[in-house]
A and B are shown apart, each in its own frame.
Chain A
Amino acid sequence: KNQVEQSPQSLIILEGKNCTLQCNYTVSPFSNLRWYKQDTGRGPVSLTIMTFSENTKSNGRYTATLDADTKQSSLHITASQLSDSASYICVVSAGNNNDMRFGAGTRLTVKP
Chain B
Amino acid sequence: DAGVIQSPRHEVTEMGQEVTLRCKPISGHDYLFWYRQTMMRGLELLIYFNNNVPIDDSGMPEDRFSAKMPNASFSTLKIQPSEPRDSAVYFCASSRTGINIQYFGAGTRLSVL
Contact = CB atoms under 8 A, between A and B. Distances in A.
A43 B105 contact: yes
Interface string A88-104: 01010100011010111
What range describes how many residues of A lie at the interface? Answer: 10 to 19
B42 A102 contact: yes
Given A41-B106, A42-B106, A46-B101, A102 B44 contact: yes
B47 to A, nearest CB: 12
Given A43-B91, A43-B93, A100 B45 contact: yes
What range describes how many residues of B lie at the interface? Answer: 10 to 19
A32 interface: yes
A42 B44 CA distance: 16
A103 B43 CA distance: 8
A44 B104 contact: yes
8 contacts: A34-B100, A45-B104, A89-B42, A91-B43, A93-B100, A98-B56, A102-B44, A105-B42
Interface of A: 32, 34, 41-46, 49, 89, 91, 93, 97-98, 100, 102-105
Given A43-B106, A93-B99, A97-B98, 20 more contacts: A32-B100, A34-B100, A41-B106, A42-B106, A42-B107, A43-B4, A43-B107, A49-B101, A89-B42, A91-B43, A97-B99, A98-B55, A98-B98, A100-B45, A100-B99, A102-B43, A102-B44, A104-B42, A105-B42, A105-B43
